């Protein structure tokens, strides 16, 4: 078996939102299951396609046991900085952003989160692709962004 980072009974924290991929009974595909930042306990360790470690994690507060990939978990005591947005979230620019002295990203421009940078100087920042700048990715501090709709 592949070397697993966590063992039975260990507390882990989820680093991204988990939705139903269609295998969780009683909820429609795409329904939110467990929110990022939640802490749970490893109840089983297995593999998927013989090369990915999958942990069954019991999230007591949510009352759910959910399968999680190793890259979706950190130790429960590891440093954790909550963020307003996550990978693939749609965001809007809260103010015009200059790039090279010009307001290149107008206020209200919409984009998508490509990466969360939790250890950025000054707090959480994001790699954002704005629709108005095809092919460009900018690192934007969290306070300059707004949600485009409800977040889960």
Q: pLDDT at residue 71 above 50?
A: yes
Q: How far is CA 122 from the centre of its chain?
A: 20
pLDDT of residue 149: 66
What was the pLDDT predicted at 150? 54
pLDDT at 144: 94
Q: Helix, strand, or coil here: 123? A: coil
> Percentages helix, strand, coil for the chain, rounded to the nearest 5?
5, 45, 50
Architecture of domain 11-75: Roll (2.30)
pLDDT band at 152; cut points 50, 70, 90: very low
Q: Per residue in 17-61, pLDDT tens?
A: 888 888 888 889 988 899 889 999 999 887 777 777 889 999 999
Domain 90-147 annotated CATH 2.40.50: no
| Cα distances (angstroms) measured from residue 64 to each of 19, 36, 37 | 12, 14, 15
Let me know: does 40 contact 60? Beta carbons within 8 Å: yes
Domains 11-75 and 90-147 share a fold: yes
pLDDT digit string, tens, across residues 103-122: 689 999 999 999 888 888 88
Residue extents of the structural domains in the chain: 11-75, 90-147
């Amino acid at each position: 078996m592949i070397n697993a980072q966590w063992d039975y009974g260990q507390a882990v924290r989820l680093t991204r939102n988990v939705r139903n991929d269609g295998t969780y009974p009683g909820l429609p595909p795409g329904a939110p299951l467990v929110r990022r930042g939640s802490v749970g306990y490893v109840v089983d360790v297995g593999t998927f396609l013989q090369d990915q470690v999958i942990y069954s994690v019991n999230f007591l507060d949510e009352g759910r046991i959910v399968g999680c990939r190793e890259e979706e978990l950190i130790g429960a005591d590891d440093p954790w900085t909550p963020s307003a947005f996550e990978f693939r979230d749609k965001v809007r620019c809260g103010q015009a952003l200059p790039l090279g002295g010009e307001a290149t990203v107008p206020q209200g421009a919409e984009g998508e989160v490509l990466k969360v940078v939790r250890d950025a100087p000054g707090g959480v920042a994001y790699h954002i692709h704005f629709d108005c700048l095809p092919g460009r990715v900018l690192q934007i501090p969290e306070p300059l962004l707004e949600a485009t709709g409800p977040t889960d």
